[in-house]
Structure 1
Amino acid sequence: MSYSKQMNLKNLLLEILQLYQTQYSGALDITTNSNQKYRIYFHQGNIFWATGGIHPHRRLRRHKIQHFPQVDLQSIQWRWQNLSINNWDYQLLRTLHQKQKIQLSQVNIIVENTVSEILFDIIQQAHRTDVLCDRRSDVVLDAPISFTNTEIILRQVYQLWQNWAKAGLATISPNLAPNLHQPEQLQNQVEQSIYQNFISLLNGKYTFRDIATKIKQDILPITNYLLPYINQGEIQIQEVTDWQLNLHQNTINSVDSSTTQTKNLLIAYVDDSPQLGYILGKIIIDNGLRFIHIQDSTQALLTLIDKQPDLIFLDLMMPHTSGYEICAQLRKISTFANTPIIILTGSDGVFDRARAKVVGSTDFLNKPIVSEQVMGMINKYLPGNSFVQIQNSSNKQLIN
Structure 2
Amino acid sequence: MVFATLDMVDDQIKTAKSVLKGLELREDGCVYVIRNSIRWAFYVHHGKLAYASHSLDSFERLERHLRGLSREVPALNDKLRSQLRLIFDDPNPDNAKYKVTSEILCTEYLALLWLVNENYLPKPLASKLVARMAQEVIESFLCLEDGQFIEKYYPHLLRNIYCKLTTSQILDVVEKRLQAWYSLGPTICSPHQCLYLVSQTSAARRMSMDTVQRLGRILRGFNFYQLGALLGKDPLMLAKQLSPMIKDGSILLRDPLPPFDLLPPTYRLSPDEEEYNINQLSETLEEFEETANDGISSISQVLAHGSPKTWKVVCIDDSESMLSIIRSYLGSEDFQVTLIQDSMKALMKITSIRPDLILLDIGMPNVDGYQLCSLIRKSSSLKDIPIVMVTGNKGLIDRARAKLAGATDYLTKPFVQSDLLKMMMRHLI
TM-score interval for Structure 1 and Structure 2 normalised by the shorter chain: 0.5 to 0.7
Contact 2:35 2:150 in 1 (8 A): no
Deviations 1:14-56 (A, max 9, x none): 2221221x243233333444x3332222222211122225342
2:228 corresponds to which residue? 212
Contact 1:38 1:52 in 2 (8 A): yes
Gaps of 5+ in 1: 254-400
TM-score of the aligned structures, taking structure 1 as reference length: 0.53
1:81 corresponds to which residue? 90
Same amino acid, percent of matched pairs: 17
1:250 corresponds to which residue? 401
Secondary structure of the residue that 2:227 maps to in structure 1? Answer: helix
Evaluate the alpha carbon distance shift between residue 80 and residue 158 of structure 1 in structure 2; reply closer, same or farther with a 3 A threshold.
closer
Contact 1:42 1:49 in 2 (8 A): yes
After TM superposition, list the pairs within 5 Å mapping 1:223-372 onto structure 2: 223-238=239-254, 239-241=256-258, 249-250=400-401
**Is residue 94 from structure 1 mapped to residue 110 from structure 2 by the alignment?**
no
Contact 2:41 2:54 in 1 (8 A): yes
1:5 corresponds to which residue? 9
Contact 1:7 1:133 in 2 (8 A): no
Contact 1:31 1:132 in 2 (8 A): no
Deviations 1:201-236 (A, max 9, x none): 2111x1101112222222223102222332333322
Which stretch of structure 1 is more off in the superposition, 102-111 or 176-185? Answer: 176-185
Contact 1:181 1:235 in 2 (8 A): yes
- The one-letter code sitting in structure 1 at the alignment partner of 2:161 is I
Secondary structure of the residue that 2:149 maps to in structure 1? Answer: strand
1:387 corresponds to which residue? none
**Is residue 122 from structure 1 mapped to residue 144 from structure 2 by the alignment?**
no
1:28 corresponds to which residue? 31
Cα distance in 2, alignment partners of residues 178 and 215 from structure 1 = 14
- The one-letter code sitting in structure 2 at the alignment partner of 1:102 is L
Contact 2:50 2:161 in 1 (8 A): yes
Gaps of 5+ in 2: 94-101, 261-387, 390-395, 405-429
Contact 2:195 2:252 in 1 (8 A): yes
Contact 1:56 1:242 in 2 (8 A): no
Out of 181, 184, 190, the position equivalent to 1:173 is 190
Runs of 4+ in 1 over 4 A off after TM superposition: 6-10, 73-77, 245-249
**Is residue 67 from structure 1 mapped to residue 54 from structure 2 by the alignment?**
no
Cα distance in 2, alignment partners of residues 250 and 187 from structure 1 = 49
Contact 1:6 1:131 in 2 (8 A): no
Secondary structure of the residue that 2:32 maps to in structure 1? Answer: strand
- The one-letter code sitting in structure 2 at the alignment partner of 1:91 is L
Cα distance in 2, alignment partners of residues 187 and 32 from structure 1 = 44
2:96 corresponds to which residue? none
Evaluate the alpha carbon distance shift between residue 7 and residue 167 of structure 1 in structure 2; reply closer, same or farther with a 3 A threshold.
farther
- The one-letter code sitting in structure 1 at the alignment partner of 2:137 is I
Deviation of 1:108 (Å):
0.3
1:186 corresponds to which residue? 203
Secondary structure of the residue that 2:90 maps to in structure 1? Answer: helix
Evaluate the alpha carbon distance shift between residue 169 and residue 44 of structure 1 in structure 2; reply closer, same or farther with a 3 A threshold.
farther
Deviations 1:47-93 (A, max 9, x none): 11222253423311212212245242465783553874451101110
Cα distance in 2, alignment partners of residues 83 and 105 from structure 1 = 33
Evaluate the alpha carbon distance shift between residue 50 and residue 9 of structure 1 in structure 2; reply closer, same or farther with a 3 A threshold.
farther
1:14 corresponds to which residue? 18
Contact 1:178 1:235 in 2 (8 A): yes
- The one-letter code sitting in structure 1 at the alignment partner of 2:170 is I
Evaluate the alpha carbon distance shift between residue 198 and residue 78 of structure 1 in structure 2; reply closer, same or farther with a 3 A threshold.
same
Contact 1:208 1:219 in 2 (8 A): yes
Cα distance in 2, alignment partners of residues 233 and 252 from structure 1 = 44
**Is residue 37 from structure 1 mapped to residue 43 from structure 2 by the alignment?**
no
2:238 corresponds to which residue? 222
Deviation of 1:96 (Å):
1.2
2:212 corresponds to which residue? 195
2:322 corresponds to which residue? none
Contact 2:12 2:148 in 1 (8 A): no
Evaluate the alpha carbon distance shift between residue 216 and residue 74 of structure 1 in structure 2; reply closer, same or farther with a 3 A threshold.
closer
Evaluate the alpha carbon distance shift between residue 170 and residue 17 of structure 1 in structure 2; reply closer, same or farther with a 3 A threshold.
farther
- The one-letter code sitting in structure 2 at the alignment partner of 1:145 is I
Cα distance in 2, alignment partners of residues 161 and 7 from structure 1 = 28
- The one-letter code sitting in structure 1 at the alignment partner of 2:48 is N
- The one-letter code sitting in structure 2 at the alignment partner of 1:47 is L
Secondary structure of the residue that 2:8 maps to in structure 1? Answer: strand
Deviation of 1:104 (Å):
0.3
1:384 corresponds to which residue? none
Cα distance in 2, alignment partners of residues 49 and 137 from structure 1 = 15
Cα distance in 1, alignment partners of residues 223 and 21 from structure 2 = 30
